[in-house]
Amino acid sequence: MPTSVPMPELGESVTEGTVTQWLKQVGDTVETDEPLLEVATDKVDTEIPSPTSGVLTRILVSEDETVEVGAEIAVIGGEDEAAGGEESASPAKDAQPEPEPQPEPQTAGAPTSAPEEQAAPAASAPEPEPTPAPSAETSTDREETAPPVDVGTVSGANQADGTDAVTETYVTPLVRKLAAEENVDLSTVRGTGVGGRIRKQDVQEAARKQRERSTAPAAAPASPAASTPAQQRPATAADTSMRGRTEQMSKLRQSIAEQMADSLRISAEITQVVEVDVTNIARLLERAGDQFEAREGAELGFFPFFALATVEALKTHPKLNAVIDSSSYEVTYHSVEHLGISVDTEGGLLIPVVKDAGDLNLGGVARKVSDLTQRAHTGALNPEELSGGTFTLTDTGSVGGLLETPIITQPQVGILSTGAVVKRPVVVDDPELGEVIAVRSMVYLSLTHDHRLIDSADAGRFLQAVRERLEEGAFDADLGLA
């Protein structure tokens, strides 16, 4: 019995998806959960698995076509339906009869085929149905799938030296267009999609690296004073290509704009800031950072400590880990801590979620944060990893910011921003000397909360819990120092 394949749910607030790549063709056999196609949304690109085993008999949505969630995009039949499926492969074939053999339109200077040559295909042995050449009658028909494109042919590579370093690879029209706009040679791009397919994120990353190389200053001798803090990402070269240009905002940028504006309309947002002395954590990083990375397989900076302290504080201050139903003013306090972490990607801000963060130790948090961050930059996150957060942590310090007033991610009621860790003179109490001035590692924590549920005193108590945990610096057991 035929099985309909719908455009699946693709995350919170996502109502439509764009088919970017069919990984199977009409007539191909597919297995349950085998990747069937790639879909792009305003948040993420993802592979859609087949809901059943059988033969792909119909493709109803062309590549680069956008449809709503729930719309039928393909049909999968049983193994015995393969032959029938080939006859009704797509709306384009159903919509018009098979074209009769006729001479191809001639272009200026093209040789004219002899009549017997034109009739030869009809008299040949049975072959798969040929695809008619594009013409005025067929050019507007919906494409069933993108034909395989030799990347070497597209880019002009491999023609002079005869090498076969680049093999026949599917490249969507969207990717080809983006590569042309960014002046990226597809033969030099390493694909991260299924079977090494080149995705738009691969082209964007290649374009970013090209811009960095073209604007990078001449190399200068390195010096200890010029080293970059472990938690602060070096600033990239300025991109001036947008000067004087007018363009449509990307879907991701539009989504961010709508969500941020909606958040300010929905919540009564107020921000409270505290200053935290993280000198003890800085010393732990100096003592055990390399050892931790070798053992856990993840680089250790300040952020995992911030994340762990935040999750622990959420357990004892459930008001910050809640959701408000604005229509009924009903409050639900979550029993789990799903921590959203903001990641600045080439396309815009993404917030992958560390699920069940309350069950993780420092090593588990560091590994999960590292994994989600890396895959956010390569476009390898799935929709489930971008939804379901109960509280968000954003790292303003990664770009050198001291503090900010972050906007709540709806429907959450709080978001915590961590600033850059900087060394500066601070007045501290010495047990023997009393008040003295010492150089300490300091950071600002900014908590934006929904005043409809959380009063300033509630926010203050939450921040005090986070600050006490960080200033105590009792993470020796997590670092293998106990």
> What pLDDT does 321 receive?
98
Rounded Cα gap, residues 416 and 421, in angstroms: 15
pTM of the model: 0.62
Residue 159 lies in a domain: no
> What pLDDT does 442 receive?
97
Which comes out higher in pLDDT, residue 296 or 458? Answer: 458
> What pLDDT does 238 receive?
64
Is residue 89 pLDDT above 70, yes or no? no
**Residue of 94, 325, 359, 455 marked active site:** 455
> What pLDDT does 40 receive?
80
Is residue 211 pLDDT above 90, yes or no? no
Residue 377 lies in a domain: yes
> What pLDDT does 106 receive?
46
| Burial class, 195, CB count within 10 angstroms (exposed 0-12 / middle 13-18 / buried 19+) | exposed
Confidence of residue 158 (pLDDT cuts 50, 70, 90): very low
β-pairing, 391-395 vs 414-418, is parallel
Establish whether 94 is a catalytic residue: no
CATH of the domain at 451: 3.30.559.10
Segment 430-459 shows an average pLDDT of 95
Residue 376 lies in a domain: yes
Confidence of residue 256 (pLDDT cuts 50, 70, 90): confident
Per residue in 56-67, pLDDT (tens digit) is 999 999 988 888
> What pLDDT does 456 receive?
96
Establish whether 449 is a catalytic residue: no
Segment 416-426 shows an average pLDDT of 96
Q: Looking at 60, 77, 94, which one is the last position of a domain?
A: 77
Confidence of residue 323 (pLDDT cuts 50, 70, 90): very high
Take residue 422 and report the two structure tokens written for it: 């900087």
> What pLDDT does 454 receive?
97
**Comparing 37-41, 339-343, 365-369, which segment has the lowest mean pLDDT?**
37-41
> What pLDDT does 241 receive?
78
CATH of the domain at 18: 2.40.50.100
Residue 324 lies in a domain: yes
Confidence of residue 191 (pLDDT cuts 50, 70, 90): confident
Residue 175 lies in a domain: no
Is residue 130 pLDDT above 70, yes or no? no
> What pLDDT does 482 receive?
65
3-state secondary structure the chain: CCEEEECCCCCCCCCEEEEEEECCCCCCEECCCCEEEEEECCCCEEEEECCCCEEEEEECCCCCCEEECCCEEEEEECHHHHHHHHHCCCHHHHHCCCCCCCCCCCCCCCCCCCHHHHHHHHHCCCCCCCCCCCCCCCCCCCCCCCCCEEHHHHHCCCCCCCCCCCCEECCCHHHHHHHHHHCCCHHHCCCCCHHHCCCHHHHHHHHHHHHHHHHCCCCCCCCHHHCCCCCCCCCCCCCCCCCCCCCCCCHHHHHHHHHHHHHHHHCCEEEEEEEEECHHHHHHHHHHHHHHHHHHCCCCCCHHHHHHHHHHHHHHCHHHCEEEECCCCEEEECCCCCEEECEECCCCEECCEECCHHHCCHHHHHHHHHHHHHHHHHCCCCHHHHCCCCEEEEEHHHHCCCCCCCCCCCCCCEEEEECCCEEEEEEEEECCCEEEEEEEEEEEEEEEEECCCCCHHHHHHHHHHHHHHHHHCCCCCCCCCC
Residue 440 lies in a domain: yes
Confidence of residue 219 (pLDDT cuts 50, 70, 90): very low
Q: How far is CA 243 from the centre of its chain?
A: 26
Per residue in 91-122, pLDDT (tens digit) is 444 444 444 545 444 444 444 444 444 444 44
The count of structural domains within the chain is 2
Is residue 147 pLDDT above 80, yes or no? no
Which comes out higher in pLDDT, residue 423 or 123? Answer: 423
Which of these, 20, 22, 16, lies nearest to 67 by C-alpha position? 16
Residue 210 lies in a domain: no
> What pLDDT does 114 receive?
41
Q: Looking at 77, 112, 132, which one is the last position of a domain?
A: 77
Rounded Cα gap, residues 147 and 79, in angstroms: 24
- Axis crossing angle, helix 362-378 with helix 279-296, rounded to the nearest 10: 70
For the chain, the average pLDDT equals 78
Q: Looking at 77, 95, 130, which one is the last position of a domain?
A: 77
Residue 348 lies in a domain: yes
Question: pLDDT exceeding 70 applies to what percent of the chain?
Answer: 72
Q: Which domain holds residue 431?
A: 267-479
**Residue of 262, 451, 458, 476 marked active site:** 451
